[in-house]
Structure 1
Amino acid sequence: MKLVVEKNTPIAPAVRLITLRAEDGAPLPPYTPGAHLSFAIPGTHLHREYSLTGDGYTSDTYEVAVLKRGTGSVWMHALQAGEHVDAQLNNAFALESAEDGHLLIAGGIGITPILSMARRLARDGLPFSLHYASKDPASAPFGAQVTGLGTHCHLHGGSPNALRSKLAGILAAPRADARLYVCGPQAMIADVMQTAQTSGWPAGRIHVELFEGTLPVSGDRPFDVELSLSGLTVHVDAGQSLLDALIAAGVEPLYDCKRGECGMCVTPVLSGELDHRDKYLAASERAANQSICVCVSRARSASITLDL
């Protein structure tokens, strides 16, 4: 769809709220909370996804909050009122009904889809609770909006463990038809997932969206990466991404999204068995075993060789 930037406003350190409207000024399509806009970045093959923050009902505007990190966000931050953009409305994190209510947990910029859900549930008068973790609650994006939704919405901060230490209590005794939605940093989501599973939450009632990377998978093993051009061998730990290991070794391939979506970090593979976790490569490319998205994918074999 063709959209026009109405406003681009700073709302927190490195975060801007971008308000968009239809080119013809008509009402924009409604959406299910958790939806995002996928923006085409001019002059590149890249697309970037940013969650909508409204309640999803018909409106004259859409709003997305963008944390400045990487190529796409730099472009978004530079947008000026009156500029035109191309975007597609999608949802891979849709809010589903739950007779026993919703438990919403967010960390950092992960508040954006969670806020959309909370606003819809509040508007519809449905039961929910929200826990939002931020390193600095005083400057947290949408912190005031979260606490303004009611006493069942909580802002946690002051230390990295401010929310982690409370998770067991928050997730205890799940009701049969409740749903849990989580969005934020990888480490926080992993903590929530582990605690939820220990507390008896059914897997089908836990919904997760990552802004970066992939969650660790049970059975992930360390592996070595041989770099044919430089002659280096880089060790990748079980809890470490291939990209992070390469960067730590002083080898920095091209990358951008760190979610396995843009294809910027696709690297030729000369040998080894791969564990593809990206959303970019086609099924035929994965089966060929000749390329890997180093930001999210791993090795199944003890070692692989990259053309780096």
Structure 2
Amino acid sequence: MVSADAEAEVVVLGRADLADGVVGLTLGAVDGGDLPPWRPGAHVDVVLGEGLVRQYSLCGDPAETRVWRIGVLKEGPGSTAVHERVRPGDRLVTRGPRNHFVLEDAPRYVFLAGGIGITPIVPMVAAADAAGADWRLYYGGRSRSSMAFVDELARHGERVEVRPQDEFGLLDLDGILGGVVPGTLVYCCGPEAMLAAVEERCSPASLRTERFSPKAVAGVEEAFDVELRLSGRTLRVEAGRSILETVEKAGVGVLSSCREGTCGTCETPVLEGEPDHRDSVLTEAERADGGFMMICVSRARGPRLVLEL
């Protein structure tokens, strides 16, 4: 069985074209056994060699314990490598699954997806439907041919509105979100411009987002000390250098991937001190709690932090 906490090999069981520029891969354990369990919103890291690690949302059925399914948009060197080189029978190194986009229990949901942002949403709408929740999905993309899972989502009928931009223009966010009633959770995944527009129209308490690129965050770059409680060391984190870079230079191993605050791989428990959160992963409640931080981008709001490293 593949471990959820370490790098492990999986085998590519199948490959299919899901839309223009989007391929789907079906992955299985090398020994044919069960893969680590997951919930809607989870992603896996795929190690593609030459320093390339990319995160892909799991878009299949969590009940299928022996396969993972991912959708890969051909965009950037990592995903281009998947499109051009990965074939059934190949083995890939993965990490995870991890989930910072958890589908929380609610009586009502509004799901918003843009382009490849549909991938974590597909299992979410299936779970919401199975739970008997009231939900709607609004799915935008450049063109119908570029939008994956349209046929699969059609089984949900009028609960799904597919709105290609070349046919309908941009999603009418004012109309969609203007009538959201209290108690509704809004889940959104897609391009940064879409996420920013949705954030302007939703309260943080009702909105859950997942980003493919980091959210712009301004902050003061000052030096501070970080105590690594498990390692028994205290290091100086200089201005312009991240905690992650500092601990790596000191020879302390930390699992990391995106190095820009979007994947959650380097999440680290905070034992003392106040983090200056600069990631695009944690919710407002998680930030206020201060129990964890993403050390690839976040810093300290005081002279010292104590981390469980």
- Scaled to the shorter chain, the TM-score interval is 0.5 to 0.7
Q: Aligned partners of 2:97 and 2:16: how far apart in 1?
A: 22
Cα shift at 1:153? 0.6
Q: Please state if 1:136 is matched with 2:143.
A: yes
Cα shift at 1:71? 2.2
Give the corresponding residue for 1:251: none
Q: Please state if 1:23 is matched with 2:38.
A: no
Give the corresponding residue for 1:240: none
Specify which of 190, 200, 217 is matched with residue 194 of structure 1: 200
Give, as a single letter, the amino acid of the residue that structure 1 aligns with 2:195: I
Q: Please state if 1:67 is matched with 2:68.
A: no
Give, as a single letter, the amino acid of the residue that structure 2 aligns with 1:167: L
- Per the normalisation by structure 2, the TM-score is 0.66
Determine if contact 2:185/2:206 at 8 Å carries over to the other structure.
yes
Q: Aligned partners of 1:284 and 1:213: how far apart in 2?
A: 16
Determine if contact 1:53/1:63 at 8 Å carries over to the other structure.
yes
Cα shift at 1:180? 0.3
Specify which of 134, 150, 164 is matched with residue 157 of structure 1: 164
> Residues 165-214 of structure 1: CA distance to partner in whole angstroms, max 9, x if unpaired?
x2222112333221000000011111122123xxxxx3122001111232
Runs of 4+ in 1 over 4 A off after TM superposition: 256-262, 275-280, 282-288
> Residues 261-298 of structure 1: CA distance to partner in whole angstroms, max 9, x if unpaired?
69xxxxxxxxxxxx96586636679999xxxxxxxxxx
Q: Percent identity?
A: 31
> Residues 93-128 of structure 1: CA distance to partner in whole angstroms, max 9, x if unpaired?
1110002x1110000000000112112222333321
Determine if contact 1:55/1:120 at 8 Å carries over to the other structure.
no
Cα shift at 1:57? 2.3
Give, as a single letter, the amino acid of the residue that structure 2 aligns with 1:208: T
Specify which of 148, 155, 165 is matched with residue 148 of structure 1: 155
> Residues 23-69 of structure 1: CA distance to partner in whole angstroms, max 9, x if unpaired?
1112333311000011122342x321000102322432111000111
Determine if contact 1:105/1:132 at 8 Å carries over to the other structure.
yes
Cα shift at 1:129? 0.7
Give the corresponding residue for 2:133: 126
* 1:11–1:192 Cα change, 3 Å: same
Gaps of 5+ in 2: 3-8, 220-256, 264-276, 281-293, 304-309
> Residues 144-172 of structure 1: CA distance to partner in whole angstroms, max 9, x if unpaired?
222322211110123497344x2222112
Q: Please state if 1:90 is matched with 2:98.
A: yes
- RMSD between aligned alpha carbons? 3.1
Give the corresponding residue for 1:103: 110
Determine if contact 1:189/1:208 at 8 Å carries over to the other structure.
yes
Q: Aligned partners of 2:170 and 2:299: how far apart in 1?
A: 42
Per the alignment, in what secondary structure is the counterpart of residue 64 of structure 1? strand
Q: Aligned partners of 2:48 and 2:114: how far apart in 1?
A: 26
Q: Aligned partners of 2:61 and 2:183: how far apart in 1?
A: 22
Per the alignment, in what secondary structure is the counterpart of residue 110 of structure 1? helix
Give the corresponding residue for 2:175: 169
Per the alignment, in what secondary structure is the counterpart of residue 155 of structure 1? strand
- Within 5 Å, give how 1:1-308 maps onto structure 2: 1=2, 2-44=9-51, 46-77=52-83, 78-87=85-94, 88-99=96-107, 101-159=108-166, 162-164=169-171, 166-196=172-202, 202-214=203-215, 259=260, 281=296
Per the alignment, in what secondary structure is the counterpart of residue 194 of structure 2? helix
Give the corresponding residue for 2:241: none
